[in-house]
Every structure is written in C-alpha cells, then in structure tokens.
C-alpha cells in the first residue's frame, strides 16, 4: 500500500478495558472460596480496513491475566454487517489470540463498529473495533471497446455565456483571462431576450443593433479554442406569440407560421459574422474584420418554447439551407432538447417522445438538412428541496438517454456517425420566480456536491458515447456558476471543470484516451473511470457520491475508501494524486501531489468529491 494514497490517517493504538471476572480456585487449597481475577482485553488496532474482495484483515488480541489464572477464554464478534465474517485464533488458556475480519462484495462499503468480545465462563468483556469496508477496483490492461467511441473517451468540456440585459444588470463582466486559463472547448453563446440583435421589423436600420451582443461574441472568439457555438436560442420578439401564467410570468413561444422569416434572420446573422455583412434600411451591418463562426445551434429547447417535434423538424429543414446558402462551410447542432429528468413527460421532455420524428425518413417528414451534432440539456432537478440521493439517482438516466439518442441516429445510415453533445448541464435548473418571491440558491451546483456530481455525469455520459459536456454557465450565482458573479472569484465548480479538461484531454479531432476495462466490487456509491493516454500514462478517477443519509439535502456525503489495483498494468515510475472536495482551496485550486506508485493503492475520500490518481511509466 502506497502511503501517499491514504488521505485519512488510520488510528492505530492500544484500546483496553478491564473487568473483574470470577474464577473458581484450582482445588489444591483448603477451605474452598473464590478469588477475583483481573482480565484485560487489548486490540493491536482500533481500526481495520476490510476489503470487499475478501482480503483478510487480522487484528491481534492480547489477554492480560492475573497470576494463576488458567481458565480458557473464548473470543467472538457481534455487530457484523451483512456479508462480513470474523474468524479467530482462540487464546484458550494462553494470553494471545487473533480476530480476522473478512468482508465480501455483498457488504456495502462504509464504516461499521464491530464488538470483539472475550468470555471466560459467563463473564465477558469487549472492545469496539471500527471496520471500514473498502471497495476494490481492478484496472485491466485491455480496452473497454463497448464504452465511449469504440473504446475511446472523446468528450470535450465547455461552458456557456448568455448575454442578456438582466445578466449585465446584476452580474460583473467575466475575467477573460480566467476563461482562457480554464480552456473550455466550444464555448456556447446563448443569445436571448434583449440581446437578440433584431428587435423590430420596420425596414429601418434601427431594427438591427449588435452593440450589446458583440462584446461577448468578440471576447469568446479571442479565448480558448476560438470556436464557439453561436446558439440562435430565440427568435426575434416579433416572430413570437406572447402568453403568460402565474408561475412563470410572460412566455414567448415561437409562432411556427414565421419559419421563413426566422430563416432569413438566421441567414443575416451568418452574413454579419462570416461573409462581409448585409444591408438593411440603408445601412451596412458587418462584424469586426477577421471574425468567423463555424458552429451554429438552431433554436433552444423547442419542447419548452411552444413547438411540436414535427414543427421543429420543419423549422430546422428550412433554416439550415438558408444559412448554408450564405456560407457552405458552417456546421450545425440540432434538437437542443430539454431532457425529461426535470421537466417530466407533461412538457414532452422525454427523448423517446421526440427523436422518432427527427430521425424519420425525409419522405415521412424527418430531417433532411445537414446535421453535424445533436444536442440535449441535462439537469437533475428544478427543486431545491430534492434530496442529494434523488439528484444523484438521475445520473444513470442521463447515460441511458445518450444511448437512446445513438440508437435512433443509427436507424438512418446518413445520421449514424453524428455525435451527441450535452450543451447545457447543471445540478438545479430553477430560476427566481417571474412574479417575485423568495428564491433559495441551491449551492450544490458549485460546492463539494458538484465535485462529485459533474465527474459522475462526465464519466457516465462519456462511457455512453457523449462527445461534449457543457456546464451552465461561467459567471453566475452559487447555484450554477463556475465563477462568482459578485467578485469574479472561482467556485469549486471552476476547478472541477479545469481538471476534467486536463485529466481527460481531447482536442475534438485526434483519438481520445482509451477507456480501460474495470472490475469494481461496488459501483453504487463511487463512480470509477480509468483511461490510458497515448504516452502510456494512466488516469483513474474516483468520484464519491455516497450520501450519509437518504434524506440529506446539501449534506456532506459519506466517506469511502477504494483500493485501486493496477497489477495488470505492470509497474510505473511515478504517480500523483489530486483531490477536489470541501477542503479544497477554491482561490488557488488544488495541485497534483507526488505519491509512491504501487500495485494496490488505497484512496480515501472524506465525503462528496473526486480524486484523480495519475500513473506515469
């Protein structure tokens, strides 16, 4: 066991209790009677790690007797959890014995207290033994070809900027150096509300105004991979139908009768940024020289904005050709579906209610325009009162929906190789109520809970073949931001994304790292991902999402110990460990700490969080 891999220190010491035991005289003397004998039970360790693979965990037992005591003493254990056994070397009439604890894969990981008891006739004494049941994760030397993209982890990580009036009013401008240092891929620019550059349609030059929007667009083009996704999230207001209700306030739903006008609006956006501009009302509109936007997202969450699946397909089939006629080099993401996890079927969020219409044959009304990626948005809840356990339970369904997307895409040969991206994600999608009232920020979106949740989502969706995970959003409040809106200081969520980008790099072009086969004794509380890079280095990620109690809301999580077995991979020259949890310095972020590589390495996570173990040949 490499000492550097144990974050929590096992307390090893002598714990003893004394008890007065009554024993009969040896019969050699006269007059009968009895004497009281002092017996002390001592354990060589007060804590032991018992692994789910059945590795024996012995503890020595010392018996201190009074002079002349030759009675037989028997050891036993009580309070053993399911699947755990205790075996003994009995002290008998001697002064030493052994208790050996063995867990199994049916013993849930976690902490237990077992009572070790010594009996001499009817008299007993006992000592508590703290038993930590640990998970064993054996990393294989073969590639899991059924995961990812043919066994490759090819999942970029990004973030979002949504320039609009209410954000500028309340939020500070972002620190663009922090954006660049983060290194997100395909930053998503979601254009909404007052920052839509065309607000009226009078034929006058005043219909168009890029003054508010362009500072964000130009800044994003200047950082990171210089390849944003321009999300045409909403139509200009004059193309919408306005409705209202008591809970959400005013709602702007696209009027499907205005598809052609929307297509012309989108074509002018391409002209403005990519091909020298356009004329309107006697004025020429053109972006600063040197701009070009390759990726375009067509409409945002149509299923929450008043469109049926068939209407969205019609819109997409109309808009994309109009934009490509202006610039044939551009690429498109389709669907932008608000997933069912937080919406429920009443709003049509289930992909199973939407994808069949999109992938139907063109003759039957399916998509016939260019598709370069299909996207969905994943949030675990819209309610701050949902328990930690309920939120974590949504993550496997995310992976199932990704698999369903691919299943449907592969039903058409021309769509079989289209990648799936998640272009919005977060713990809680709830916003302040439109009609006022108190709003409680759900800090699980930026704290140690997120340090478990996002790596869990990244691993589950990446194994399912997802090729992009974009976090909502960069500068925001403590529910959803990477950087604090009030002071431009990073939240813990910033460092989670920062290290996911570095530990699992993918440039979107060359093959990503191999996903290695993994055999773990338990997968219900710790998400484990092992990858191998082209240079032979191996990264093992352990995301601890074990809840302390099923009714916890914003809890701290439950500690877990995992033994990473890399025997099948051979030896390594060096190794590092990096942890993100409630103890992380969020101003400076964590750093890799050198550790000693070993064939079996114990990693302890004290609660919600993630640890990366990196091994170098």
pLDDT tens digits along 83-92:
999 999 999 9
Residue 143 lies in a domain: no
Q: What's the whole-model pTM score? A: 0.91
pLDDT tens for 483-537 read 998 888 999 999 999 999 999 999 999 999 999 999 999 999 999 999 999 999 9
Determine the Cα–Cα distance for residues 286 and 292; give it in Å rounded to an integer: 11
Those residues with Cβ within 8 angstroms of residue 240's Cβ, 6 or more apart along the chain or in another chain: 234, 252, 253, 254, 255
Determine the Cα–Cα distance for residues 379 and 256; give it in Å rounded to an integer: 27
* Confidence check: pLDDT of 437 > 90: no
500, 526: one domain:
no
Which DSSP helix (H) or strand (E) runs through 357?
A: helix 355-359
DSSP conformational letter for 120 = E
Query: Domain range spanning residue 183?
Result: 153-512
Q: How many domains does the chain contain in total?
A: 3
Cis-peptide, bond into residue 434, ω within 30° of zero: no
Residue 231 lies in a domain: yes
Determine the Cα–Cα distance for residues 17 and 61; give it in Å rounded to an integer: 12
110, 19: one domain:
yes
Band (pLDDT 50/70/90 cuts) for residue 436 is low
Q: What is the pLDDT of residue 339?
A: 86
439, 565: one domain:
no
Least confident of 37-51, 140-154, 228-242, 269-283: 37-51
Residue 610 lies in a domain: yes
User: Per-residue pLDDT averaged across 224-249, rounded?
Assistant: 83
Pairing mode, strands 373-381 and 420-428: parallel
Q: Which residue has the higher pLDDT, 538 or 31?
A: 538
φ/ψ (deg, to 5) at 261: -65, -35
Band (pLDDT 50/70/90 cuts) for residue 251 is low
Surface-to-core class of residue 382, CB atoms within 10 Å of its CB (0-12 exposed, 13-18 middle, 19+ buried)? middle
Contact 47, 602 (CB under 8 A): no
* Confidence check: pLDDT of 81 > 90: yes
Instruction: Out of 478, 512, 546, pick the residue that ends a domain.
Output: 512
Residue 171 corresponds to which tokens in the numbers above?
């939020």
Residue 148 lies in a domain: no
Q: What is the pLDDT of residue 167?
A: 61
Band (pLDDT 50/70/90 cuts) for residue 168 is low
101, 226: one domain:
no
* Confidence check: pLDDT of 50 > 80: yes
Residue 146 lies in a domain: no
DSSP line for 275-328: SS-EEETTEEE-PPTT----EEEE-S-GGGTT--HHHHHHHHHHHHHHHHHH-T
CA-closest candidate to residue 511, choices 140, 187, 143? 143
HSE at residue 299, side-chain half, CA atoms within 13 A, is 32
Q: What is the pLDDT of residue 65?
A: 83
| Residue 336 bridge partners (DSSP) | none
* Confidence check: pLDDT of 253 > 90: no
User: Per-residue pLDDT averaged across 294-306, rounded?
Assistant: 92
119-124-126 Cα angle (round to 5): 100
361, 485: one domain:
yes
243, 392: one domain:
yes
Q: What is the pLDDT of residue 500?
A: 98
Instruction: Out of 133, 162, 181, pick the residue that ends a domain.
Output: 133
pLDDT tens for 560-583 read 999 999 999 999 999 999 999 999
Those residues with Cβ within 8 angstroms of residue 269's Cβ, 6 or more apart along the chain or in another chain: 197, 230, 232, 323
Those residues with Cβ within 8 angstroms of residue 585's Cβ, 6 or more apart along the chain or in another chain: none
Contact 115, 551 (CB under 8 A): no
538, 500: one domain:
no
Contact 185, 468 (CB under 8 A): yes
Q: What is the pLDDT of residue 135?
A: 98
Measure Cα distances from 162 to 193, 233, 266, 333 in Å: 10, 10, 18, 17
Q: What is the pLDDT of residue 35?
A: 35
We report the CATH number of the domain holding residue 216 as 3.20.20.80
164, 302: one domain:
yes
DSSP conformational letter for 8 = S
**Rg of the chain, C-alpha, whole Å:** 31
Q: Which residue has the higher pLDDT, 143 or 8?
A: 143
Contact 4, 594 (CB under 8 A): yes
122, 213: one domain:
no
Instruction: Out of 494, 512, 530, pick the residue that ends a domain.
Output: 512
We report the CATH number of the domain holding residue 30 as 2.60.40.10
* Confidence check: pLDDT of 29 > 50: no
Band (pLDDT 50/70/90 cuts) for residue 343 is low
556, 588: one domain:
yes
Those residues with Cβ within 8 angstroms of residue 465's Cβ, 6 or more apart along the chain or in another chain: 147, 148, 149, 402, 403, 406, 419, 420
Q: Helix or strand or coil: residue 176?
A: helix
Q: What is the pLDDT of residue 33?
A: 41
pLDDT tens for 317-342 read 999 999 999 999 999 999 999 986 66
Residue 365 lies in a domain: yes
- Number of residues assigned to the chain: 617
579-553-422 Cα angle (round to 5): 60
Band (pLDDT 50/70/90 cuts) for residue 70 is confident
Contact 23, 615 (CB under 8 A): no
Determine the Cα–Cα distance for residues 399 and 393; give it in Å rounded to an integer: 12
* Confidence check: pLDDT of 19 > 50: no
Residue 390 lies in a domain: yes
469, 559: one domain:
no
Residue 142 lies in a domain: no
Q: Helix or strand or coil: residue 32?
A: coil
We report the CATH number of the domain holding residue 530 as 2.60.40.1180
Determine the Cα–Cα distance for residues 368 and 363; give it in Å rounded to an integer: 9
Measure Cα distances from 277 to 172, 195, 198, 283 in Å: 31, 19, 14, 10
569, 489: one domain:
no
Average pLDDT, the chain: 90
């Amino acid at each position: 066991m490499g000492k550097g891999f144990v974050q929590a220190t096992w307390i090893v010491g002598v714990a003893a209790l004394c008890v007065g035991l009554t024993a009969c005289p040896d019969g050699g003397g006269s007059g009968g009677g009895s004497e009281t004998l002092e017996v002390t039970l001592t354990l060589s360790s007060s804590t032991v790690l018992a692994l789910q693979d059945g590795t024996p965990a012995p503890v020595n037992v010392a018996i201190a007797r009074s002079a002349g005591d030759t009675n037989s003493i028997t050891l036993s254990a009580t309070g053993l959890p399911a699947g755990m056994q205790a075996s003994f070397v009995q002290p008998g009439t001697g002064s030493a014995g052994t208790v050996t604890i063995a867990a199994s894969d049916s013993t849930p990981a976690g902490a237990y207290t077992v009572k070790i008891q010594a009996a001499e006739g009817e008299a007993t004494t006992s000592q508590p033994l703290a038993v930590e049941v640990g998970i064993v994760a054996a990393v294989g030397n073969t590639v899991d070809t059924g995961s990812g993209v043919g066994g490759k982890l090819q999942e970029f990580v990004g973030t979002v900027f949504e320039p609009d009036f209410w954000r500028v009013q309340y939020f500070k401008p972002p620190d663009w150096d922090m954006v660049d240092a983060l290194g997100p891929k395909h930053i998503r620019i979601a254009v909404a509300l007052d920052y839509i550059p065309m607000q009226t349609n009078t034929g006058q030059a005043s219909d168009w105004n890029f003054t508010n929007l362009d500072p964000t667009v130009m800044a994003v083009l200047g950082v990171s991979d210089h390849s944003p996704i321009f999300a045409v999230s909403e139509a200009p207001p004059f193309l919408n139908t306005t409705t209202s209700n008591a809970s959400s306030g005013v709602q702007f739903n696209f009027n499907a009768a205005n598809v052609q006008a929307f297509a012309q609006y989108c074509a002018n956006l391409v002209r403005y940024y990519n091909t020298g501009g356009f004329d309107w009302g006697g004025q020429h509109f053109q972006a600063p020289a040197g701009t070009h936007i390759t990726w375009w997202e067509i409409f945002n969450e149509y299923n929450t904005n008043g469109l049926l699946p068939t209407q969205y397909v019609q819109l997409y089939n109309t808009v994309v050709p109009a934009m490509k006629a202006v610039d044939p080099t551009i690429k498109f993401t389709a669907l932008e579906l608000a997933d069912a996890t937080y919406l429920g079927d009443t709003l049509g969020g289930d992909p199973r209610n939407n994808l069949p219409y999109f992938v139907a044959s063109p003759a039957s009304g399916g998509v016939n325009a260019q598709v370069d990626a299909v996207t969905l948005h994943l949030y675990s809840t819209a309610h701050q009162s949902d328990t930690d356990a309920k939120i974590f339970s949504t993550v496997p369904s995310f992976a199932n929906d990704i698999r369903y997307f691919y299943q449907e895409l592969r039903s058409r040969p021309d769509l079989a190789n289209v990648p799936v991206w998640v272009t919005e994600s977060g713990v809680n999608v709830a916003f302040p109520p439109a009609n006022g009232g108190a709003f409680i920020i759900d800090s699980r979106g930026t704290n140690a809970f997120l340090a478990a949740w996002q790596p869990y989502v990244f691993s589950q969706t990446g194994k399912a073949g997802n090729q992009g995970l974009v976090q909502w959003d960069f500068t925001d409040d403590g529910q959803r931001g990477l950087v604090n809106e009030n002071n431009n200081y990073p939240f813990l969520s910033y460092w989670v994304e920062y290290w996911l980008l570095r530990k699992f790099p993918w440039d979107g072009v060359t093959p990503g790292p191999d996903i290695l086969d993994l055999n773990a004794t338990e997968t219900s509380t710790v998400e484990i991902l092992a990858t191998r890079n082209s240079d032979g280095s191996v990264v093992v990620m352990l995301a601890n999402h074990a809840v302390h109690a099923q009714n916890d809301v914003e809890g701290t999580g439950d500690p877990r110990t995992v033994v990473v077995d890399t025997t099948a991979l051979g030896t390594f020259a060096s190794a590092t460990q990096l942890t993100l949890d409630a103890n992380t310095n969020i101003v400076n972020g964590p750093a890799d700490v050198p550790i000693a590589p070993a064939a079996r390495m114990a990693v302890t996570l004290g609660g919600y969080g993630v640890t990366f173990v990196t091994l170098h040949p």
